[in-house]
Amino acid sequence: MVEVAILRAIKEGNFEFVFDIVNANPELVWTHDEKSSNIFSVVVQNRHAKIFSLIYGHPLKRVLAQSVDRLYRNNLLHMAGMLAPSTSLKHIAGAALQMQRELQWFKEVESICPPTAHANLNNEGLTPREFFTKNHKDMRNDGEQWMKDTATSCTVVGALIVTIMFAAVFTVPGGNDQNNGFPIFLNRKLFMVFIVSDALSLFSSSTSVLMFLGILTSRYAEEDFLESLPRKMIIGLSTLFFSIAAMMTAFSAALFLMLHERSWIFKPVICLASIPITLFVLMQFPLLVAMANSTYGPSIFNRKMKRWF
């Protein structure tokens, strides 16, 4: 009955129960079902990072990592190569980020497994890495399609901003002086705001387009989902957001220069100009934050776990 309770607690992610009962009786760490060899095998299958972190404080972690189950001959790294249950991935937006999380789990388990475990074959004759590739083939394809669709949509927006901002430099507000060719409002502070904003928007949108093109032309290997592709997407979305904000600033400065005698129009224009920025933040900023946290944020694993029994 105790073993059944432990297995159920692990599957439900009940850290306190697992910690207390195994700490009271360390032998229960070898509790397993037919598809596993110890509690950490079950933990990895169900993807509970907090409970898995207990292995860092266990003196036999190397032994636990290389033990295999009797039915399928899978070691702990093979378990990490299995597809995660849908309940552990449903809170992660996008197939690409789900693939990244699966790779993070595999790399983490790989770091504590002895070299011999990396080459162990299961009943299917597959190493852990081959087992991972087989089980995540569909997820990798879905992640590739998600990345390409997102990059394609953002490339269109970025290319449009590049075109507009490039043309705006040659059609400055107020026109040019016919005698010397310099802009009429050259000495106005708002004109400098317009020029600087235009240049920043052009450069940042060009950068975003290049990043999204890099995503579209990527080889889409499994390792690329760990950091390379998310990094390009983070840079692309960040610079695209910045270019939209700079474009609205340039537009507002140009309009105020043209309507300086009717400055009462400026405030409503500023409010209207903030709408595209707000919409972009509401739609894309959560994805940007989630991707940044997943790629560069704190690890979901507690590697500083002290010995707990």
Domain ranges of the chain: 2-135, 139-296
102, 228 Cβ separation under 8 angstroms: no
In this structure, of 2-16, 77-91, 251-265, 287-301, the range with the lowest mean pLDDT score is: 251-265
List all residues 6 or more positions away from 307 whose beta carbon is below 8 Å from its beta carbon: 57, 58, 59
Q: Is the pLDDT confidence value at 77 over 60?
A: yes
Summarised one tens digit per residue, pLDDT across range 155-204 is: 999 999 999 999 888 887 777 667 776 777 777 788 888 899 999 999 99
Summarised one tens digit per residue, pLDDT across range 248-261 is: 888 888 888 877 65
Which residues are 183's β-sheet partners? 176
Residue type, 46: N
Nearest to 72 by CA among 28, 43, 114, 37: 37
Which residues are 176's β-sheet partners? 183
| Mean pLDDT along residues 203-221 | 95
d(CA 34, CA 67): 14
Summarised one tens digit per residue, pLDDT across range 114-168 is: 888 889 999 999 999 999 999 999 999 999 999 999 999 999 999 999 999 998 8
Q: Give pLDDT, residue 275.
A: 81
Alpha-helical (H) ranges within the chain are: 2-12, 15-24, 39-46, 49-52, 61-66, 76-80, 86-89, 95-112, 115-118, 128-135, 137-169, 189-216, 228-258, 266-296
| Mean pLDDT along residues 36-64 | 89
d(CA 140, CA 150): 15
The pTM of this model reads: 0.87
| CATH annotation of 2-135 | 1.25.40.20
What three-state secondary structure class fits 183?
strand
- Tokens 């449903």 correspond to 90
d(CA 27, CA 30): 6
Token output for 145: 């399609």
70, 38 Cβ separation under 8 angstroms: no
Q: Give pLDDT, residue 302.
A: 85
Token output for 33: 């079902």
247, 161 Cβ separation under 8 angstroms: yes
